Structure formats: C-alpha cells, structure tokens
Amino acid sequence: MKALQLEMALFRVEKVVAGSETKLRDGVLSVDQDELADKVRTDERLRAVEVRVANPGDSVRIVPVKDVIEPRLRVSGEGYPLPTFPGMIDKAAQVGYGRTLVLRGAAVVTAGAILGFQEGFIDMRGPAAQYSPFSQTHNVVLVCEPVPDLPPHQHEEAMRLAGLRAATYLAQAALPLAPDEVETISWLPTQGGAPNGGRLPRVGYLYMLQSQGLLHDTYLYGADAKHILPTLLSPTEAIDGALVSGNCVSACDKNTTYHHQNNPVIMELCQRHGRDLEFVAVLITNENVTLEDKRLSSSRVATLGGMLGLDGVIISKEGFGNPDTDLMMNCSKLEEIGIKTVLITDEYAGSDGASQSLADAHPAADAVISTGNANQEVELVELDVVIGDPDRLPALAGATGTDNRIELQAVTGATNELGFSNLTARWQ
C-alpha cells in the first residue's frame, strides 16, 4: 500500500493587524475587515458580523468564545484551491494527502451572542491568559449577531460555517508566497516491523468525539458523529479538515476545530511510527447518551481493536460527567481482550482538589494522564477591551459568583483532554 503523505506548508504569522487589504508579508497578516465581514455575511442567518483582531499581550478579553480554527487552504499540485473542510463549506472530498497551506500562529475565533452556558473566554493578558493556548495565537475574531429568534441549532451552524469560511479566506493570503517551512507527515498502515527485524508494538488511538446532541456535536466529513458507529480514520485525515467542532461543551475541555487540526497525540504517534511503535490507525468513536448505545459503541471499539491486532490503545475523551462512562467502557472492554490502554482526561475535583475526579471509574483504568482540575480557580483582572459581550462572563459555566474569581472550566482550552494545553503534571 502506498503511504499517505501530507505536506503542511507553514507560513509564520507573528502579528495580525487591520488593513485595507488581506495579505501576508514578513510575518504580519493584514486583514481587510470589511471584505471578510462581507464574505461571512453571505449567510442570511447572520444579521451583523464585526471583525476584530487580538494579539498576545494585548489588554483584551474575548467572550463568549464558540470555536477556534486555524486558517488553512488545501491546494492542488498546480496551486489551485481544493475543498478544505469537506462536507461543511465544501463539497465532499478526500483529505489527508497532498498539500495544505497553514497560517501557523494565526487563529479565527468565533464569538458573539451566547449559544450555551458552557461557552468560554480567552484573555490575551493577565492570570487567565497563561491557561489558554489561544492567548498565544494571533486572533482574528468574528463577532456574529444572528437574526432575531433564530433557533439555537441554526445559530450554531451559522457561526460554525462563518468560522470555516473565514479560515479559508485568510489562508488564501499565502497562495502567492513561498512557505517558511514544509512539514511532511507520512503514514503507511503496515510498517513491517522494527529496523532490527523485531516486531514493533501495534498502537491505536481511540479518539472519543463529543456527540451527545443539544449543541454537543462533532462533524466527520460533514456527518454528525452521533449518527455513526465507531470507524477508522487515517491520522492524516484527522488533522487535515475531516473533523470540525460544533459543540458547546465546557470551554476548558472542548476540542475546538483548532485542536482537531493540531491533535498532539496524532502528531506524536506519527513521529514515532516505524521507530519504536507501529501507529496502526485512528479509531473514531462517539460519546453516547443512552446506556444501551454506550454498550454498543464500546463493544464495537473492542471488536475493531481486536481485528487490527492492537497491543495498546491511547484513549482521549471530550467533556466530563456522562462521557466518563464511555471512557471506562472503552477502556475495560479493550483491556478484557488483552489490549493495554492509557487514558487522557481532565478532572472535576472541586476547587480544593479533594472531591471525586471522575463520574465513573473501573479497576482496568490503571494508566491515566490528567490534564488538570477544571474546578481550580483563577483570578480575573480588568482588561481595557472586551470583544463580544462582557455581560455574559458571569453566566458561563465555572463562574463563581464573585467579580475576581472564575474556574478554569470557563477558560477556552485550559484542560484540553488531548493534552493541548499549558498545564503539566509532576510527581510528588
């Protein structure tokens, strides 16, 4: 079988500014705010769109945040644009190979009228900034106002598509330029053993997607993940636009589209593939609502793991509470057939860290990586500029009822369960 090869043409962005045209020059991304707003306002469900910029260190708070997307554009060998988010704003198309232009260091942030109380905020300066990786990205913010009485699911979809359109629009600024760096990711399903002739451990990655409905959704090639059975995906597909966030789960541990595009578990396993392990496949599974569906999906996960002859599986989840049961079922059923597991999860252990961390547990879950305690509190400071709606901050999940404290639960990306965060762990 021929290896899947994805070329990521990286264009470094070191600052975003408002300008009279959208262009990238010497690391500065200039954005024509009016033109970008016009592109986004083609969706009749949005009454108004305001475009703002925010750079690391600015005295700026963005609230409420819906999604974060890295500006990207897939191109043909001749340099013509190709579908970048297939099944969403583009027609159905295969991704995971070829060439993708990436504005590394830039991000599109969708904000504005609140959809669900589990949205979050990003501070570009101050104590809360250190917990969000998006305080270090150069952000183009879309503040979207829906038409009156728009149903929540239509509101969410309009904002989701607005962010994806903006991401592809901005990436077009790289079309006439030579990249600063090209990162090539190759993946061949069967490596054929270790260089010394031995057998490499066969490792899979179980990618649990938030898919419980009621604005808790993830999309795979445009398909709502709550309607799928566990399936297989190549690593390069997963990071090249096949997965898009549509969920309003707690801000600290939701996987934004940016997280899917830059999944650190997949990137690390790809780097080690053929060296000290064989990265066999990404297993996509949903997080279900009913107990019967949880049993069905987790049994299907174990069947796929057995069919692939896996020795071990890394499991990440998204969200907390109800998905903890999916996590434990996936873990225990894989372990039952002899496949070792490592779990990645955050915790909700109370502000003092003394409460039970997870809603479910199992003796088989004996190798767990914590990405932090979402109930930990952080100081809120007054910033000069608020992009969005400052009155929504006290309504977010994690708000403490005091003016100067808030839980990490409300900080976008603070305890992300892919490990894409600024928190770390240490032995005591």
Give the residue numbers annotated as catalytic, written as ranges: 248
Structure tokens at 64: 């409420």
Alpha-carbon separation of residue 331 from 140, 183, 326, 346, 414 (angstroms): 39, 33, 9, 16, 25
**CA torsion through residues 118, 122, 127, 132, sign:** positive
Structure tokens at 170: 């901005």
166/146 Cα distance (integer angstroms): 17
Q: What is the 3-state secondary structure (H, E, C) of 338-401?
A: CCEEEEEEEECCCCCCCCCCCCCCCCCCCCEEEEEECCCEEECCCCCEEEECHHHHHHCCCECC
Q: Do residues 33 and 54 touch, judged by C-beta distance below 8 A? A: no
Q: Do residues 204 and 308 touch, judged by C-beta distance below 8 A? A: yes
Q: Do residues 428 and 387 touch, judged by C-beta distance below 8 A? A: no
Backbone angles phi, psi at 123, to 5 degrees: -100, 130
Structure tokens at 184: 């090539």
Q: Do residues 64 and 396 touch, judged by C-beta distance below 8 A? A: yes
140/55 Cα distance (integer angstroms): 9
Q: Do residues 11 and 177 touch, judged by C-beta distance below 8 A? A: yes
Alpha-carbon separation of residue 229 from 10, 301, 303, 387 (angstroms): 34, 9, 12, 39
Name the burial class of residue 76, with classes exposed (0-12), middle (13-18) and buried (19+) by CB atoms within 10 angstroms of its CB. exposed
Task: List the 243-245 sheet strands across, edge first.
Answer: 223-224, 218-220, 243-245
For residues 176, 182, 188 and 189, what is the CA-based torsion angle, rounded to 10 degrees?
-90
